[in-house]
């Protein structure tokens, strides 16, 4: 082999190396090109994000609807009873009475008639009381150990629990069969004011009421057949089923339907 042949061989080897390097660069450029196309193609990513958002929104709405339904099942709403006392015609089968106890006061000396010229009208022999009805009854025997406690012979209170129901008070809120009762009489008030309104109006340092007076609790009581659970609208001034238990219907003299028109 002469020098030329040797040089030609080395040249061919260099050409082969260069060809391999060129092929490698071409392959790398193809990979980068493909990778670049995948990297900057945003449509699949946008579609996926939208799909995830849509699914999330659907789940959120479903959960919210389910939660609302569950909450509604845990609440009893009495929007039929009203705090106002109507004026009614006194019919021949009705009785009228005077009442001087402030256990039903909602800010207007409600149901208090002594010295006002008004009379409370009672419809006797009413059966099938509804929640929210105000009834007139013979006061059950009760003693709290206070010798100065002098109960009137008859009392007025509101029916809040019906036969077969379980009544409970949790921190100033009335519950029926574990369901929250929502009405103007389902929480303690002072002259119609709840805790927040009362302490906005009255200086707490000069008030005989405390926050604890608005946070009363009572263990659950089952209302037996032929009885009702009654509460005065102004809890702190009332002697009612919290004290003497469910009221026997045999002691109910009638349903209070309003003030009599003279």
Pairing of strands 252-260, 87-88: parallel
197: CATH: 2.10.109.10
Run of H or E residues at 170: strand 166-170
Q: Per the structure, how many domains does the chain have?
A: 2
7 and 90 in a single domain? The answer is no
pLDDT, one tens digit per residue, over 48-105 is: 666 676 766 766 665 555 444 444 468 999 999 999 999 999 999 999 999 999 999 9
Q: Measured between alpha carbons, how far is 7 from 153 in angstroms, rounded to an integer?
A: 134
pTM of the model: 0.72
Last residue of a domain, one of 40, 57, 75: 75
d(CA 170, CA 193): 19
Question: Which of 258, 257, 214 shows the shortest CA–CA distance to 234?
Answer: 214
Q: Are residues 97 and 224 in the same domain?
A: yes
Single out the residue in 32, 58, 75 at which a domain terminates.
75
What is the pLDDT, as a whole number, of residue 26? 55
**Could you tell me if 111 and 182 lie in one domain?**
yes
DSSP conformation letters of 118-182? --EEEEES--S--TT-EEEEEPPP---S-TT----SEEEEEEEE-TT-EEEEETTEEEETTEEEE
Given 75, 107, 127, the domain boundary residue is 75
Q: How many Cβ atoms are within 10 Å of 162's Cβ, its own excluded?
A: 16
Range of the domain at 101: 77-260
Same domain, residue pair 38 and 19: yes
- Residue 207: per-residue pLDDT: 87
């Amino acid at each position: 082999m002469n020098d030329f042949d040797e040089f030609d061989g080395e040249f061919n080897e260099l050409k082969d190396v260069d060809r391999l390097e060129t092929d490698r660069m071409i392959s790398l450029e193809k990979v980068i090109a493909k990778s670049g196309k995948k990297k900057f193609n945003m449509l699949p990513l946008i579609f996926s994000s939208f799909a995830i958002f849509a699914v999330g929104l659907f789940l959120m709405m479903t959960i919210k609807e389910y939660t609302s339904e569950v909450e509604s099942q845990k609440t009893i709403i009495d929007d039929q009873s009203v705090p106002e006392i109507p004026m009614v015609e006194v019919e021949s089968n009705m009785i009228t009475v005077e009442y001087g106890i402030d256990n039903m006061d909602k800010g207007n000396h409600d149901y208090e008639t002594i010295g006002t010229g008004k009379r409370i009208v009672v419809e006797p022999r009413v059966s099938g009381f509804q929640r929210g009805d105000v009834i007139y009854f013979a006061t059950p025997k009760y003693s709290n150990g206070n010798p100065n406690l002098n109960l009137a012979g008859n009392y007025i209170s509101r029916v809040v629990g019906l036969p077969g129901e379980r009544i409970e008070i949790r921190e100033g809120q009335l519950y029926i069969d574990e369901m929250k009762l929502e009405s103007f009489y389902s929480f303690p008030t002072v002259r119609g004011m709840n805790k927040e309104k009362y302490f906005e109006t009255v200086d707490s340092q000069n008030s005989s009421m405390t926050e604890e007076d608005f946070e009363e609790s009572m263990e659950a009581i089952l209302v037996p057949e032929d009885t009702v659970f009654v509460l005065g609208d102004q809890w702190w001034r009332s002697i009612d089923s919290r004290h003497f238990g469910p009221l026997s219907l045999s002691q109910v003299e009638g349903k209070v339907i309003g003030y009599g028109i003279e």
